Structure 1
Amino acid sequence: MTEPDIRSLIMGNPVARAFAITGDAWTQLILREAFYGVRRFGVWRERLGTPRSVLTDRLQKLVAAGLLSQEQVATGTRTEYRLTEMGLDMFGVAVVQGQWEKVWAQSPLQERYAIAFFDRESGRRLKPAVLTRAHGVEVKPDRVDWKPGPGLIIIPPPTSRRRRSAPIETDRPIIDRSTEIMGDYWSWAVLSAAFFRLRRFDEIHAALGVATNILADRLNRLVLHGVLEKRPYQTAPVRFEYRLTEAGLALYPIVLAMHGWSQRWLIEPDEAPLTLVDRASGEAITPVVCDLDSGEPLDPRRIRWELEAATGASGKEKSPADAKPDGR
């Protein structure tokens, strides 16, 4: 197999395929509300304030992609949208994204409370982590390598979704501030380029093929939010490179979780565009978000969660998600 070019690696890998479907802020927030049990158009509108046309578009796309099913209830007078198995499997990605923003992009609610997960039947506290496979071991980023596969082709980016211009403040302790930082396809593409060690504007532009004004906007926003840092590498004239900060590197578990989801739902086994492997053993890694102690994949139908007072806060509050957080 010939050596793949960098553009194919960035825009054809499993994560790029996944974020072409779920990478924008509205889609992430809609899925989050579905995990809280929301099924009806009007409730999403009330919870998120999403423009009607945007909400219609995103729900239709999620149904077409297979994450939601559309069902008629109440003698056919009302439509509900329910999470499919494919949509439910996105829960682990949401959990990992929430863990990241709790550390690096706290909302006012997250400053007061931490979210805790428990097994519904046993009451045992769960420890979400990205494992190499179900019942595997926790993924160590410095041991992950990759190899290209036969399905490595560029996937056209979405063309109809603009980055949301203003943040939304919600009372959910998960998937909130992070959507302001990385809630669109091109932000994730820039981050992907950074993980492939592209650091200069011209080389990122060449790899992504995105308009220069869009690229400049995403780079500036990622710097503003502390995910990238801007360093001069030339003085006459001054030119800069963009490097992942500690917060940026901490996004890697989200990338792994999304890679695993994409492997399970978007890619045929014999057509993998890119496979993750253990650097030492060469064993394939198929990332999945599990409970660290039991090795069982996180299933929202078997989980309840609560808000607990964060360090330095007082009191305890149960989350609305304690009642059927699976949309069913």
Structure 2
Amino acid sequence: MDQISTRDLIMGNPVARAFAVTGDAWTQLILREAFYGARRFSQWRDRLGMPRSVLTDRLNRLVAAGLLEQRGAKDSATRLEYRLTEMGLDMFGVAVMQGQWERKWARSPLQERYALAFFDRQSGERVMPAIFDHERGHPVDPKQVRWDAGEGLTAIAPPTSRRRRTQPIETDRAIIDRSTDIMGDYWSWAVLAAAFFRLRRFDEIHEALGVATNILADRLNRMVLHGVLQKKLYQKAPPRFEYRLTRAGLDLFPMIMAMHGWSERWLCPDGVPLKLVDVKTGEPIHPIVCDLATGQRLDPRNIRWEVEAAPEDPDAA
């Protein structure tokens, strides 16, 4: 295999493919409301306060990508509804892991008081989400994961330009709310990916991503402001800085793993361009969000969730 460039590594891996589809803040919020039962255009419009043109665009993109499908409404011969497909339903695990990170590091006012608890619909047992190497396998230890380049690891084109949502919305949910203000666009996720691949300096991140310098500076500053990256001086004259993942940034790894697994299942029909391997066993890792006790995949059709009082210590959540 030819030598892999840093750009190919960051912009062509499964997570990059996934965020090209779902990395936009409005898209994440539309999927969140779909898990809360939204099916009609008016429900998303009223709950999210989205401009009609933006909502239409995102719904069309989700249908084209295969996460939503249009069906005729049961109570109307003319009205259409949007339903999650199997591909869309499989995003539930990613949303749960994103919500867990948010509850710990970026709580909304509601999340200061309440948390979501998940239960198996049949047994009634509490479900504790965790990343497994495969369904009914073993929990993944982030420190025991390495990657191998697969076939087709080449940089993909960034998604077509979509205006970043700059104003926070008024909804307050117990899952996925403030995190979309922090990482609600493709380039924010690309910067995060660069950090996980240990790119730390502005010039090397810029070379790997190929993004405009003003956009890169904005995303780096945003990540520092929200505590995902920390800015450290490594040269005094002239001043030069490095950007390193904080504890909050490192804690995004389970969500990144969940997104990697989702992309493997749905966006890599010709093989996985970057494979994950267990360092200890040498066995492949196909990340999936499962119940810690049973190893069973989290399926929103088999899970009910309830709002309960949030623990005072976010680490206890």
Which residue of 2 is the match for residue 105 of structure 1? 106
Do 2:108 and 2:172's aligned partners in 1 also have CA atoms closer than 8 Å?
Answer: no
Q: Tell me if 1:288 matches 2:294.
A: no
Do 2:114 and 2:309's aligned partners in 1 also have CA atoms closer than 8 Å?
Answer: yes
Counterpart of 1:271 in 2: which secondary structure? coil
Q: CA deviation at 1:312?
A: 5.0
Do 2:111 and 2:174's aligned partners in 1 also have CA atoms closer than 8 Å?
Answer: yes
Q: CA deviation at 1:159?
A: 2.1
Q: CA deviation at 1:166?
A: 1.0
- How far apart, in 1, do the equivalents of 2:239 and 2:312 lie? 44
Q: CA deviation at 1:158?
A: 1.1
Structure 1's unaligned 5+ residue stretches are: 314-328
Q: Residue 306 of structure 2 aligns to which amino acid in structure 1?
A: E
Q: CA deviation at 1:282?
A: 1.3
Do 1:114 and 1:309's aligned partners in 2 also have CA atoms closer than 8 Å?
Answer: yes
Counterpart of 2:311 in 1: which secondary structure? coil
- How far apart, in 2, do the equivalents of 1:36 and 1:311 lie? 23
Q: CA deviation at 1:3?
A: 2.2
Q: Which runs of 4+ in 1 moved over 4 A?
A: none
Q: Tell me if 1:275 matches 2:275.
A: yes
CA 1:3–1:32 in structure 2 vs 1: closer, same or farther (change >3 Å)?
same
- TM-score calculated relative to the size of structure 2: 0.97
Q: CA deviation at 1:71?
A: 1.3
Counterpart of 2:179 in 1: which secondary structure? helix
Which residue of 2 is the match for residue 145 of structure 1? 146
Which residue of 2 is the match for residue 318 of structure 1? none
**Cα deviation per residue 1:215-243 (whole Å; 9 max; x = unaligned)?**
00000000000000000010001111100
Which residue of 1 is the match for residue 79 of structure 2? 78
- How far apart, in 2, do the equivalents of 1:135 and 1:3 lie? 35
Which residue of 2 is the match for residue 8 of structure 1? 8
Instruction: Give the 5 Å matches for 1:167-206.
Output: 167-206=168-207
Do 1:116 and 1:305's aligned partners in 2 also have CA atoms closer than 8 Å?
Answer: yes
Q: Tell me if 1:160 matches 2:155.
A: no
Q: CA deviation at 1:76?
A: 3.4
Identity %: 72
Counterpart of 1:226 in 2: which secondary structure? coil
Q: CA deviation at 1:26?
A: 0.2
- How far apart, in 1, do the equivalents of 2:247 and 2:309 lie? 26
Q: Residue 41 of structure 1 aligns to which amino acid in structure 2?
A: F
Alignment root-mean-square deviation, CA: 1.1
Which residue of 1 is the match for residue 118 of structure 2? 117
Counterpart of 2:243 in 1: which secondary structure? strand
Q: CA deviation at 1:160?
A: 2.3
- TM-score calculated relative to the size of structure 1: 0.93
Which residue of 2 is the match for residue 319 of structure 1? none
Which residue of 1 is the match for residue 93 of structure 2? 92
Which residue of 2 is the match for residue 320 of structure 1? none
Which residue of 1 is the match for residue 53 of structure 2? 53
Do 1:91 and 1:300's aligned partners in 2 also have CA atoms closer than 8 Å?
Answer: yes
Q: CA deviation at 1:161?
A: 1.0
**Cα deviation per residue 1:131-176 (whole Å; 9 max; x = unaligned)?**
0100111111110000001121111111221221111231310000
Do 1:169 and 1:176's aligned partners in 2 also have CA atoms closer than 8 Å?
Answer: no
Do 1:152 and 1:274's aligned partners in 2 also have CA atoms closer than 8 Å?
Answer: yes
Q: Tell me if 1:62 matches 2:62.
A: yes
Q: CA deviation at 1:75?
A: 4.6
Q: CA deviation at 1:113?
A: 0.6
Counterpart of 1:230 in 2: which secondary structure? strand
Q: Residue 263 of structure 1 aligns to which amino acid in structure 2?
A: E
- How far apart, in 2, do the equivalents of 1:10 and 1:311 lie? 37
Counterpart of 2:294 in 1: which secondary structure? coil
Q: CA deviation at 1:72?
A: 2.2
Segment of structure 1 superposing worse, 30-39 or 160-169? 160-169
Which residue of 2 is the match for residue 324 of structure 1? none
Do 1:69 and 1:81's aligned partners in 2 also have CA atoms closer than 8 Å?
Answer: yes
Q: Tell me if 1:253 matches 2:234.
A: no
- How far apart, in 2, do the equivalents of 1:196 and 1:277 lie? 16
Do 1:115 and 1:305's aligned partners in 2 also have CA atoms closer than 8 Å?
Answer: yes
Do 2:231 and 2:244's aligned partners in 1 also have CA atoms closer than 8 Å?
Answer: yes
